[in-house]
Chains A and B, each alone.
Chain A
Amino acid sequence: MRVQARFFAAYRELTGASGAEVDLPEGATVADLIDTLRERGPSFSVLPARPAVAVNLEYAPPETELSDGDEVAFIPPVAGG
Chain B
Amino acid sequence: MPYAEITADPLDPARVLARVGSPEDGAVLLFLGTVRNHADGRSVSGMQYEGYEEMALEVLRRIAEEASERFATPNLAVTHRLGALEIGEVSVVVAVSSPHRAEAYGASRYVMEEIKRRLPVWKKEFYVEGAAEWVRGTVPPADGSPAPHSGAGDP
Contacts and interface: CB of A to CB of B under 8 A. Distances in A.
Given A59-B142, A73-B52, A73-B55, A79 B112 contact: no
Nearest to A57: B55
Interface string B32-67: 010000000000000001111011101000000000
Interface string A65-81: 00000000101111111
B118 A77 contact: no
Interface string A27-71: 000000000000000000000000010100111111000000000
A17 B24 CA distance: 51
Interface residues of B, number: 34
Contacts of A61: 142-143
A78 B92 contact: no
B23 interface: no
A9 interface: yes
A81 to B, nearest CB: 5
B100 interface: no
Given A59-B140, A61-B142, A78 B119 contact: yes
A10 interface: yes
Interface of B: 33, 49-52, 54-56, 58, 80, 91-92, 112, 115-124, 134-144
A-B complex: 9 closest residue pairs judged by Cβ atoms? A59-B144, A77-B137, A80-B121, A79-B137, A9-B122, A80-B119, A57-B55, A61-B142, A79-B135
